[in-house]
Structure formats: structure tokens, C-alpha cells
Amino acid sequence: MTLSLAETRYDRQERITWWDQGRLAASRVLVVGAGALGNEIVKNLALVGVGHVDVIDMDRIEHSNLARCVFFRDGDEGQAKATVLARAADELNPLCSVRGLVMKVQQLGDATLLDYDLVIAGLDNREARLWVNAACRRLGRTWIDGAIEGLQGLARVFPPEGPCYECTLSAADFHAMSHRRSCALLSPEDIVSGKTPTNATTASMIAGVEVQEAIKILVGREDLVALNGRVWRLEGDSMMASVIGYVEDDQCMAHDWWEELDTDDHGATCLDDIAQRLHDTWGRPERILFSDDVIRVGDCPACGAETALVGARSVLPEGAGRCSECHGELPTESTTSLTMDDPLMTVPFQDWIWPDRQFVTFLSQDSEIHVVVPGGSDG
Ligand SMILES: [Zn+2]
Ligand SMILES: [Zn+2]
């Protein structure tokens, strides 16, 4: 009798009674963030043999990352974190396919999340967490969050039902974020990149907890998941750990579950194409809703430069609200909905700054459908 390489490689973990290597090998996971947590998350996913892992991060490796990131080496500085991490993890376990995506997670668009069984985050900012949370929630995907600061850390699981990440935020948290968001269009230099104190051991422990829960979900043993709607909190000084349940907020804006999805763009070149098709096949659309604000920037009133553009707020280039010629403030307009006679309806998608595959909601008098809109330019 001969054993395949995969069988012997995974022998010890397969002795865990509920383990299912086949399901892990068939799983697709998106890891958001390729920093200290992302390195440890991807390392664990590759070691246990999760078949397909995509890791997304727009940042490049800095010298100070080397002390916390197991896959980064001297000489990697300046290279994209996601690319280096994916390559190294691919070598760690050739039975896994790990891809690096160098972009913001928002650039993927919510429709892309349907390609994955699970999303695991190693993020350092609330904006990206909010985006992941809302997109996973409406598409019925579970996501796992982790955070570290100093010797403290937390890990938590947000399934499509029950309390979500947004439920855990206070009004003051939202106020701080909306201030940062409105600044983002104007002064990128003001956005201080998060330089919180962290170290390798805390990252390793928190990522370990995140992936432990991920494995249970991926092999279909939801009954074993301990952190659904709950947080595992580690105080690294005292080594005290606790589990606390979150309370669901009935008024939470993120609790929007989408039933009718149309993931085929049918070759549409503008929103009006989609509206026409829906009119013939589904019903008469009356309004469009965007889950991410759409920003229209006008031409520069001060110097007359042609600066007009349109796009989703989360993927607009930083500083898009300021004239590149005279540095004057540009007129901007933000909208979350359109009527069918809006001039934007006929603007070709290629002229939009838009995520790769993002749903747009069409509303008729009595129903709604979410149609994928293909990516425009990258800004
Ligand atoms: Zn919520
Ligand atoms: Zn100008």
C-alpha cells in the first residue's frame, strides 16, 4: 500500500477526530492584510493545508516589519507585502496555492467576496473592517477579525447573523471615522498611518486563535466555533484571557441581507444598459442605491483644469478632492442613490473609478435586485 504525500504530510493533524483534510484542501480563504497578523494567519493556513489562499494588502515592506513578520527577509524592503508573503507561503506548502493581491480590499468590490468560503482579517484600521463587515454581512459570508496592540489582542468571529462588527462600535467611534473620511479626499498627508506598538508574539497568538476558529468553520464544524458573535481577549501582561459575548444592535445599519443577486454583467457598458435589461426581464427600475458613496468631482473653479471624475469613495485616489495644477479645493458631490434620468446613468463604466466587481442595487416599486458592475479605471 502506498500513501500519497498529502496523506503522510497531514498525518498528525488528521488524527484530530473531527478533522477533514479534504474540505480544507478545497477551501478558498481571503486574508485581508499582510502585516504582522497577516503573516501568521497565512503561515497557519498554509501549514494546515487550506487549498486556496488569497492575501490582499496595498502596502510595501518597511525595515520595521522584519521584527514581526515571519516571511519577510532583509532585502525585501520596498516590495509589496502581499506578493512576498504569497510567494514564501507557497514554498512553505506546495500543496497550497497562495496568491498576493496588491490593492486595498475595497478595490476588489463586494461581489468578489462570493469567491471565498471565509474572510480572515489582520487589519489595522476601522474603515477597512467596516467595509469587510458590511460586505460579508449582506452576502452571507462569515469573517474573522483580529487586532493587536502592545501585549493585548483580540480575536472574534462575525457570522452573517447575530451581532456584527458595526454593532460593537459606539457613536464616538463613528464620529471619529466620519471626520477622517471627509478629510481623506482633501489631505492624504494628514492621515497618519497606524504605528501602534505591537510585537511578534502577540501577533502569533491572536492569529493562532483566528485560524483555529477558521479551521472549524472550513471543515463544516460550526458547532465547535466558540467565538461566533463573541470576542476572545488576551491581556498579555497578566496572561489573563476572557471571552465576552457581543450584544446585537437592532438599529445596526449593517444588517442588510441581500437575497436577489445577479453576478453576470451581461456585457453592460453603463448603468443605463443594466436598467434597460432589467426593464425587459425583471421590472421597471426606479432608483439605484450604492453601498459605497459615489463621489463626483468637478473641474477646478480656480484654474480651469479638467479635473472632473466620478467614482466610489473608497477607491478614489487620495487627494482626489484637490486640484493637481493649482492645489485648490475642487467641488465635490457625494451621493448614495440615483434616479433613472441622472446623467451618470450613461457614463461608460470605463470612465468610473470603481472596484473590480461591485454590486449596485436597483429598486423597483416593490422589489430590489443587486447587479454586479464591472470595474472601471484604477484611478
Ligand atoms: Zn451590526
Ligand atoms: Zn486648479
Output the CA torsion sign for 185, 188, 190, 191: positive
374: pLDDT confidence band, cut at 50, 70 and 90? Answer: confident
Find the radius of gyration of the CA atoms of the chain.
22
pLDDT tens string 83-92: 999 999 999 9
Segment 103-129 mean pLDDT: 95
Say what the pLDDT of residue 191 is: 44
> What single string gives the DSSP state of each residue in 193-208?
-------HHHHHHHHH
pLDDT tens string 285-297: 999 999 999 999 9
Lowest mean pLDDT among 185-194, 260-269, 272-281: 185-194
Bridge-based pairing state of the strands 357-363 and 287-297 = antiparallel
159: pLDDT confidence band, cut at 50, 70 and 90? Answer: very high
Given a cut of 60, is residue 349 above it in pLDDT? yes
Given a cut of 60, is residue 182 above it in pLDDT? no
Compute the distance from residue 306 Cα to the ligand 2 centre, in Å.
8
Within 10 Å of residue 377's Cβ, how many Cβ atoms?
12
Compute the distance from residue 155 Cα to the ligand 1 centre, in Å.
17
- Report the alpha-carbon distance of residue 8 to residue 3 in Å, rounded: 7
Run of H or E including 11: helix 11-14
Which residues have CB less than 5 Å away from ligand 1 (the ion)? 164, 166-167, 252, 254
% pLDDT > 70, the chain: 93
- What's the CATH fold of domain 5-245? Rossmann fold (3.40.50)
Compute the distance from residue 135 Cα to the ligand 1 centre, in Å.
12
Say what the pLDDT of residue 256 is: 86
pLDDT tens string 302-312: 999 999 999 99
178: pLDDT confidence band, cut at 50, 70 and 90? Answer: confident
- Nearest 5°: the CA angle 258, 259, 265 is 85
pLDDT tens string 50-83: 999 999 999 999 999 999 999 999 999 999 999 9
Given a cut of 80, is residue 181 above it in pLDDT? no
Decide if 109 contacts 356 (C-beta within 8 A): yes
Domain ranges of the chain: 5-245, 261-374
Compute the distance from residue 295 Cα to the ligand 2 centre, in Å.
18
- Report the alpha-carbon distance of residue 231 to residue 193 in Å, rounded: 26
Compute the distance from residue 162 Cα to the ligand 1 centre, in Å.
8
Ligand (nearest to CA of 323): 2
Compute the distance from residue 207 Cα to the ligand 1 centre, in Å.
23
4: pLDDT confidence band, cut at 50, 70 and 90? Answer: low
Given a cut of 50, is residue 379 above it in pLDDT? no
Given a cut of 80, is residue 41 above it in pLDDT? yes
pLDDT tens string 198-250: 899 999 999 999 999 999 999 999 999 999 999 999 999 999 999 999 999 99
Given a cut of 60, is residue 190 above it in pLDDT? no
Compute the distance from residue 123 Cα to the ligand 1 centre, in Å.
19
Compute the distance from residue 160 Cα to the ligand 1 centre, in Å.
10
Q: Which of 367, 319, 373 is nearest to 351 (CA)?
A: 373
β-pair partners for 352: 310
Average pLDDT of the chain to the nearest whole number: 92
Say what the pLDDT of residue 5 is: 65
